[in-house]
Amino acid sequence: MPEYSRHVLEVLREPLESGRVVISRAAVQAEFPADFQLVAAMNPCPCGYEGDPSGRCGCTPDQIQRYRDRISGPLLDRIDLHVEVPRQSLKDLPPGEPSSAVRERVMDARKTQAGRGTVNARLDVGGIREHCVLDGKLSNLLEQACERLQLSARAHHRILRVARTIADLDGSGKITMPHLTEAIGYRQLDRRSSQWAQSA
């Protein structure tokens, strides 16, 4: 992802948020549907080995910071799941779960969401308040996480939607501590950005 022009990446912000793209040329404006799922990958540093147990990374902190800064905060804010994938040896790979079992669980979760009138990703503020209710302890945990990671209100809402989805996949009628902590854990790049800001 950081190999793309920053301008090209920034253009993704509007369709990621609204599900549409508006193109203006002279006095003519056209609007197109652009409801899509963004899947992107990046290395942890320019050489790709930062944090690897082998110690092969030769990048300086400045080089790593410049590389990560190619992804702006506002764009990062709109990406719900940040998953870090460390290198693993083939013998340590877990067996995994059959795709058929995952598909069945996903289909059940989609039926649950259809019963609410829309998928979780499209819940508006009113829908979030109705379907992503947290008890006092969980609400405090989310507030502390947002403060520690310096997250925006947008990221706060996205964490709630992800937590609701995890709960749906678990067949749970309410969001519980494991669901919320997993959703917060998916903000890995926000955590890294916060650590860099504090050390700068």
| pLDDT exceeds cutoff 80 at 185 | yes
| pLDDT exceeds cutoff 50 at 196 | no
- Average the pLDDT over each of 47-61, 116-130, 147-161, 184-198 and give the range with the smallest value: 184-198
Position 181 confidence tier, pLDDT thresholds 50, 70, 90:
very high
CA distances from 167 to 70, 146, 170 (A): 33, 20, 5
Position 195 confidence tier, pLDDT thresholds 50, 70, 90:
low
Tokens representing 20 are 């549409």
* Contact predicate 83/62, CB 8 Å: no
| pLDDT exceeds cutoff 80 at 14 | yes
CA distances from 81 to 12, 152, 197 (A): 16, 15, 21
Question: What is the average pLDDT across 69-87?
Answer: 89
Per-domain residue ranges of the chain: 6-79, 105-192
pTM score, whole prediction:
0.84
Instruction: State the DSSP H helix or E strand holding residue 31, giving kind and residue range, or none if neither.
Output: strand 28-33
pLDDT of residue 105: 94
Instruction: Output 82 or 195, whichever has higher pLDDT.
Output: 82
